[in-house]
Structure 1
Amino acid sequence: MSVKLPSISDLDSNYASDEKDYIFENPEGLSVETLINHILPVPEELSGVSVKIPGTAKPGFSEIYRNGAFPNGLKSCILPELDTYHAIFNSGVSRHPNSPCLAYHEFDYENDLHLERYATISYTEVQERKKNLVGGLFFLLESNNYKDLSLEAHQKIVNHSRDYKSYDKDNFSFVVTFYSGNRPEWIIADLACSSSTITSTALYDTLGPKSSKFILEVTESPVIIASKSKISNLINLKKKNPQDLKALIMMVSMDPLTKHDAALIKEADANKIKVFDIHQVEKIGAIFPREETPPHAESIFTITFTSGTTGANPKGVVLAQKAAAAAISSISILLPHHSNFKEFSFLPLAHIFERHMSASVFLFGGSVAFPRLGGTPLTLFEDLKLWKPTFMANVPRIFSKIEASIKAATVDSTSKLNRALYSQAFEKKRQKQLENGNKGEHFIYDQTLIKKLRKNIGFDNIEYCFTGGAPISPDTIKFLKSSLGIGFSQGYGSSESFAGVLMALPLHSSSTGTCGAISPCVEARLRDLPEMGYRLTDKGGPRGEMLLRGPQMFAQYFKNIEETEKATDKEGWFSTGDVVQITEAGYFVVIDRVKNFFKLAQGEYVTPEKIENTYLTSNSILTQVYAHGNSMQSYLVGIVGIDPVTIVPFLRKQCNVTADLSNRETLLEICNKRDIRTHILLYINTNVGSKLNGFEKLHNVFFDIEPLRLERDVITPTSKLKRPVASKFFKPQINAMYEEGSILKNLKL
């Protein structure tokens, strides 16, 4: 590249020049703590935008885009010595040995009840526990009666100390599997494997037994570390598939085993599986310590399996230690943080999003807390009140529920005084946030109305929140920022990119409603999509399929060369399948999915994902939208999810409904009456306005509360719609809507 763009290294000598793949040169010899928690993050006026690199466009492809602070090269780590997750965690231990690392809602196993308090585990304690866990795992696997050295996975157990230095993407260790909800033992086991060059993977409930069996079989995993409640089903899975799961010879319960579990242990033995609890394994490891076998950057950290939309077996995304280090670095470079950072880990650790979030906290020396055992969205806020985090990442659905509950108590309150006071307070906060780009401090409102709202949901100390994985309305973000006085970041990522690669900075008002700028550890470009109507020359910024490349990206799909070659070209560009627009300000906006388009009877092409996202981001009363059409019909119909909290005041005010709406069946019956449906449809179409053409708008709808559910198999565990399956599942409702015809006929859209 002939043109060198301005970089942060031109302004601050602590930063390495852009051709170096690490962030800090550190000529002044500052401590690692100072570099991470005082110099970082990079000033948002530089890092908050993406810039295009002159001279990099090719026919059919846009210029390459990089982070505005580091435009002349990609970064892979903070410092050369922090190039693995193992090294990053060890750095946290050395800098904050006695600080809280993990926290958990205490549970009394003897009396089977939760204690209303959180207990913490220090960095030093976690370090000791993970070392003991590794020692115990190896001792018990090597001495296991059911070990079979004709199996490659079992040979790798025996030869691990000899071979670990040579492991890379094409040859890595035996695989340890995790299976539980979020809890300290999950993280301890993950860190133990990471620090010992042992590759891990995870199961989760929504995979189902067929996919779980596939993962265990294809990885030849010899050991599963799981909550006790999962063990019986896992034993039965091997019982039904003794040959396919021959490699599985050990399970470790994250919960204590007692004399009452004798039958479980006996049943496992009958199926050639030894069962221990994690404390037994750690005690054995303390007696028989294992010499550390630390990873290098190319060692494989994890294989994360993703359920696709086609119903085929899940694909295993192979992620190296360098990808983990790059992802962790990207958070510290872009997002505000400090050593007292307290995360609440609610998103499933089995998905890469939450592993990215929690792993990043350890770089800062902060702490990660977990929900109570068996926690649900209903118990979330009670846990938040006990832990009082400074940060939480969650899916848009949770934040929409928070928005609805706040509005019900404030701006939509039955009290005129409440409505007036809170409306004034929120508008004043919103204006201040726009003016100075921070939380919009207002002494009177912050100490009275805002403080009360924050306390009611456990947000007393929340500094900002992060969301991704699905569309969220910009209005929801703006409302939560002003009503709670917090920052809010929307991001984008995938399993293949080790989660977040796009991030709108939490106090950066101009990027609200977008996915922000590209990470310094990844570069992007767009591919022209004329067949879908997306061009690189489009008004408002280029539009096309987003391609990604960089050290944060995955190595390959596990034992799947065909899918790897299909997804990644010879230059290393990964095709995301997501259609993106890059605004003139340098922000990324996800607008559609590639190939999700079809022709209507009149010859117009429509892209349903763009339509669904537009409805969701324009209407806070909606939670889900599935837009359906085909070449035999001239208009679209929709299966639409409504929020039972926000729809009730809407029906009262907008539709003059006076009936009792506390019953779910009654609520849905009323919403699906033709006159009410028409009223709601006109309202949501009006909010969409000119964002969609007339033929792209819904002409008939069927309302339900969360129609797109996992148990119906119409979405994947990461909430991606399985269109062919959904089309079959909702065939009765779709046929009924088309038989009824457009309910907007002769009405203005």
Structure 2
Amino acid sequence: MSSVDSNPNFSLTDLIDRDLRFHKLKEKLSEHNQNSKEYLTALYNAMPLSGHVDYPVFLEQQAVPVPGSRRPGYSPTYRNALSPDHLVSSISPRLATFFDIFNFTTERCPENDCLGARVKLDETAKWGSKYVFETYSAIQERSRNLGSGIMTLVNFKRKQAANCNDFIVSLLSTNRKEWIISDLACQAYSLPNTALYETLGPDTSQYILNITNSPVLILSKSNLYKVLAILSNLNDLSTLICMDDLSSDELAHLNGPLLAGSINQRGERVSVLTFKQVEEIGFDNQVPIIPPTADSLYTISFTSGTTGTPKGVLLNQSHLMAGVTFLLSNIGIPPTKNGKQPYDMCFLPLAHIFERMIAAYELAVGAALGFLHVADPAVLIEDLRVLKPDFFCVVPRVLTKLEAGIKNAVQGATVPNFTKLVARKVLDKRLVTIQSREGPDNSILNHLVYRKILIDKIRASVGLSEASFIVIGSAPISSDTLMFMKSALDCGVRQGYGLTETFAGVCLSEPHERDSGTCGAIAITTECRLRSVPEMGYDAEHDLRGEVQVRGSQVFAGYFKNPDTTKEVLDGEGWFSTGDIGYIDSRGRLSIIDRVKNFFKLAQGEYIAPEKIENIYISSCPYLTQICVYGDPLKTFLVAIVGLDLEAITSFLHQAVPGLRIFHGENLINALNDKPEYRKELLKMMNSFVRGLQGFERVNNIYVGVEPLKVSDDTITPTLKVKRAKATKKYENVLKALYEEGSLIKAEKL
């Protein structure tokens, strides 16, 4: 079938019922009435779907071309091999929205831990050594009280009926319990919400609040005064709800002298309340819940984009449900849990759709979500050691820092030479095993020797002693890093691909494949194809390389108040053009290799695709965290701004460049930038890692930093994509100086 199925409501339970490959699972589930609590609980526990087919056969062919789908200029359409005849849209007819799913989880396990954090000990400044959780039933009650309070407050000010839900709720905070409670409150009353990034600054926050006409903003105390500073520019905002407790004096000051006479353009008084106050108002003024439907708008997720104004991606409950279905079909509750509740650290920003998808899946299966005790990534390892999550979702930068920390710990100056030798031997043996076989290493040697000697100690040191796999997404990463982490932690590493417009992931690699670096097969909810891009040399028909296009139940409804841009990327047949250049391998797995239209010409007439080059450097060299490639059209070679993982690269530089041994930290960075001979050695190392680039595509001079590109200065997006025009402008003088200095390696054979 070359088009989307005529039945848009094909569920996971339908797939299991109709596909003969799942007949044993069907028989097992048939012990219960279909769609009953017992049936769906057994279904959850039976996942992943790949566990009910011949797994080695599935690994060899994870996605398949749809017969009759070839068209000139395109690859065949690919579908997941587990559901080649249908695109799946939901788990079950009983679970049409995430409101249904969360209530179902609360019904199944009301006393399970739900949301938690470490708390300060009484009368001390110390933080507790355990996570304190609220149960699913408690969080359900709090979310409904909060939702009722929001409805009461906003509609009282607008002089509307209490059940009027024609407005958008905004959120501005780092990850915390109150963020999730607010999201659940919105769903209980069919209130769409939108999340503001803390790092994008007041202009973006102002733009989003005004374009959405949002009357209410739920935010942390740390952001309260930042918003008050731009309050006069906010047309519709009338209610600010602070997640933190405020004293009566603080509230009196805020609502008295500070906000005296503050009236928005609707003529509504602006006021500040605490989260607890709004819950109490909701408890005292119970507004009946307004359950969403599959077509209800769930969220407007604004993409920061590499160019232009942020675009608001319209995502319905149906898109959220399809995303949860994709993850449920792919990820099983770790068998080591033996029926116990799994735990996870809610670490990546909830303002980004990746973490919202992960959090939704975890709440669906009854997992517990822990949060950092302070909003600082520096405490991550400390909190991981306390929480001991069963799985962990990260971006490449976090994983490379974990890699550097592990390497330094086992090879540090204070470690005896004998111990270093043993550690190297164990990690080398583990790496050989991983690269020579598919699946987890269940050998006696691994469990009784390697785990006891080294691996269990490494896992405990980084707080991942219970982790069965790690999920990584958002940006390219070195295959060497992926293989090392699989070896050092003896757990699966799963790389994903997706966009805000697809409700995060639509691909996820298998955890224990012998090769790393692909994003895995397309989801059972989605189909994909590649479009030829001849101006960039990509031929989808013959080489399976081209722009990735996707279609299915996870693909968004359009951009908020932006029909023209919607038409540019969503065609009449429902295909979404992602702008990413991908490659589909013989197993049906997708790899992202470039971006459409990101190319320029050098003086000798050669076309350069900078994002492709950046992806190759980042995915090849484990010491790099960032790179922005630049080419002057009047010059014949490339230069780059490079971010280094200082912890990982210091030892290498001290060994490779004797003159650098006296430098550490920022002084090491300064020494590299001051001395071209030092940078030359670093650049030679970088180029020694990369494969598949022609000589003119390799970087010839560099400027280095620890984090030269930042979200806060608008040179990268929150999803770590380079904003090329902004980065080039910021480093205009640096790039000019690199060209004046010339190529550091032009006499070398590239």
- Structures share a fold, TM > 0.5? yes
Report the Cα distance in structure 2 between the residues aligned to 1:451 and 1:675, rounded to whole angstroms: 42
Contact 1:13/1:27 (8 A) holds in 2: no
Which residue in 2 is equivalent to 1:500?
505
Match of 2:337 in 1: none
**Equivalent residues in 2 for 1:399-410 (5 A)?**
399-410=399-410
**Which structure 2 residues correspond to residues 692-731 of structure 1 after superposition, within 5 A?**
692-731=693-732
**Which secondary structure state, in structure 2, belongs to the residue aligned with residue 177 of structure 1?**
strand
2:45 to 15, 37, 42: 37
> How many pairs align?
712
Q: Does 1:74 align with 2:87?
A: yes
Output the CA distance in 2 between the equivalents of 1:360 and 1:136: 27
Q: Pairwise mapping of residues 46-195 of structure 1 onto structure 2 (< 5 A)?
A: 49-107=62-120, 114-144=127-157, 147=158, 158=162, 160=164, 173-195=166-188
Q: Return the letter of the residue paired with 1:620.
A: P
2:591 to 589, 592, 597: 589
109 and 295 in structure 1: CA distance in 2 versus 1, 3 angstrom threshold: farther
User: Which one of 299, 302, 318 corresponds to residue 302 of structure 1?
Assistant: 299
Alpha-carbon shift at residue 142 of structure 1 (Å): 2.8
Divergent runs of 4+, >6 A: 11-14, 108-112
Whether 1:343 and 2:344 are equivalent positions in the alignment is yes
Task: Work out the CA distance in 1 between the residues paired with 2:293 and 2:3.
Answer: 34
The equivalent residue for 1:627 is: 629
Report the alpha carbon displacement of residue 442 of structure 1 after superposing the two structures with TM. 2.7
Which amino acid in 2 is paired with 1:471? P
1:257 to 246, 249, 261: 246
- CA deviation after TM superposition for structure 1 residue 110, in Å: 7.9
AA at the equivalent of 1:290: V
Q: 2:208 & 2:65 partners in 1: Cα distance? A: 40
Asked if the contact 1:117/1:386 (under 8 Å) is kept, the reply is: yes
Kindly indicate whether the alpha-carbon contact (under 8 Å) linking 1:526 and 1:544 is maintained by their aligned counterparts in 2: yes
The letter for the 2-side match of 1:399 is L
- Encode CA deviations 1:575-625: one digit per residue, 9 max, x unaligned: 100000001111111000000011111111110011111111111121111
Scaled by the length of structure 1, what TM-score is found? 0.91
More deviation, 101-110/725-734: 101-110
Q: Give the alignment's TM-score, normalised by structure 2.
A: 0.91
Q: SS of the residue aligned with 2:131? A: strand
Q: What CA distance in whole angstroms lies between the structure 2 residues aligned with 1:568 and 1:619?
A: 36
Distance in 2 (CA, whole Å) between partners of 1:388 and 1:344 is: 9
8 A contact 1:626–1:639 mirrored in 2: yes
1:167 alignment partner in structure 2: none
Q: 525, 530, 540: which one pairs with 1:526?
A: 530
How well do the aligned residues superpose, as a CA RMSD in angstroms? Answer: 2.5
Counterpart CA distance in 2 for 1:633 and 1:314 is: 33
Q: Percent identity?
A: 39
2:280 is aligned with 1:283: yes
Q: Tell me the distance in 1 between the aligned counterparts of 2:385 and 2:114.
A: 19
Retained in 2: the 8 A contact 1:544–1:581? yes
- 2:749 corresponding residue in structure 1: 748
AA of the residue aligned to 2:236: A
**Residue 550 (str. 1) matches residue 552 (str. 2):** yes
Distance in 2, Cα, partners of 1:237 & 1:420: 59
- SS of 2:50 mapped into structure 1: coil
Deviation at 1:116, TM superposition (A): 3.7
SS at match of 1:106: coil
- Contact 1:46–1:68, Cα closer than 8 Å, also in 2: no
Judged with a 3 Å threshold, the aligned counterparts in structure 2 of structure 1 residues 139 and 711 are, in CA distance, closer, same or farther, namely closer
Determine the structure 1 residue equivalent to 2:221. 228
Report the AA paired with residue 263 of structure 1: H
Change (3 A) 1:185 1:580: same
Q: CA deviation at 1:712?
A: 2.8
Query: CA–CA distance in 1 between the matches of 2:683 and 2:280?
Result: 62
5 Å matches for 1:152-551?
158=162, 160=164, 173-238=166-231, 240-241=232-233, 245-261=234-250, 262-266=252-256, 267-268=258-259, 270-271=261-262, 272-310=269-307, 312-337=308-333, 340-374=341-375, 376-411=376-411, 415-433=416-434, 434-435=436-437, 437-439=439-441, 441-510=446-515, 512-537=516-541, 541-551=543-553
SS at match of 1:712: coil
Paired with 1:3 and 1:596, the residues of 2 have a C-alpha distance of: 30
Aligned mates of 2:541, 2:346 — CA distance in 1: 42
Mapped contact 2:169–2:217 kept (Cα < 8 A): yes
- Alignment gaps of 5+ in structure 2: 5-9, 33-37, 263-268, 335-339
- The answer as to whether partners of 2:646 and 2:665 remain within 8 angstroms in 1 is no
Q: Which residue of 2 aligns with 1:568?
A: 570
Alpha-carbon shift at residue 202 of structure 1 (Å): 1.0
1-structure distance, mates of 2:594, 2:632: 18
SS of the residue 1:442 aligns to: helix
Shift in Å, 1:425: 1.2
Given that 1:24 and 1:79 are in contact with CA atoms closer than 8 Å, whether structure 2 keeps it comes out as no
Q: Distance in 2 between matches of 1:530 and 1:17?
A: 41
Aligned in 2, Cα 1:24/1:105: closer, same or farther, shift over 3 Å?
Answer: farther
* 1: CA distance, partners of 2:391 / 2:604: 50
Distance 2:355 2:57 in 1: 27
Is the 2:116–2:134 Cα contact (8 Å) retained in structure 1?
yes
Given that residues 168 and 215 in structure 2 are in contact (C-alpha distance below 8 angstroms), is that contact kept between their aligned partners in structure 1? yes
Distance 1:281 1:425, change over 3 A: same
Can you list the C-alpha shifts for 1:146-185, whole angstroms capped at 9, x where unaligned?
x2x6xxxxx5x6553xxx7xxxxxxxx3101111110111
- Provide the C-alpha distance between the structure 2 equivalents of 1:210 and 1:12, rounded to a whole number of angstroms: 46
Letter in 1 for 2:280: K
Q: CA deviation at 1:412?
A: 6.5
Superposition deviation, residue 666 in structure 1: 4.1
SS at match of 2:90: coil
Distance 1:45 1:318 in 2: 39
- In structure 2, C-alpha distance between the alignment counterparts of 1:3 and 1:468, rounded to whole Å: 29
Report the equivalent of 2:667: 665
The change in CA–CA distance for 1:667 and 1:208 in structure 2 (over 3 A counts) is: closer
Structure 1 window deviating more from structure 2 (714-723 vs 544-553): it is 714-723
Residue 270 of structure 1 deviates from its aligned partner by: 3.3
Does structure 2 retain, via aligned residues, the 8 Å contact 1:104–1:372? yes
After superposing the two structures, state which structure 1 stretch, 317-326 or 440-449, moved more: 440-449
Select between 281-290 and 569-578 the one with higher mean Cα deviation. Answer: 281-290
Mapped partners of 1:24, 1:314: distance in 2: 46
Indicate conservation of the 8 Å contact 1:3/1:54, yes or no.
no
**Alignment correspondent of 2:35:** none
The CA deviation at 1:123 is 0.8
Aligned AA (2:43): L
- In structure 2, the residue matched to 1:168 is none
Please state how far the C-alpha of 1:733 moved relative to its aligned partner: 1.5
d(CA) in 2 for partners of 1:143, 1:658: 66
Shift of 1:506: 1.7
Change (3 A) 1:14 1:476: same
CA distance in 2, matches of 1:200, 1:718: 20
The amino acid that maps onto 2:147 is V
Give per-residue Cα distances to partners, 1:82-108, cap 9 Å, x unaligned.
121111111111111111111112146
Contact 1:439 1:487 in 2 (8 A): no
Contact 2:354 2:505 in 1 (8 A): yes
Per-residue deviation, 1:278? 1.4
Partner SS, residue 73 of structure 2: coil
**Residue 672 of structure 1 contacts residue 702 of structure 1 at CA under 8 Å; is this kept in 2?**
no
Q: Is the 8 A contact 2:549 2:578 kept in 1?
A: yes
Distance 2:243 2:49 in 1: 36
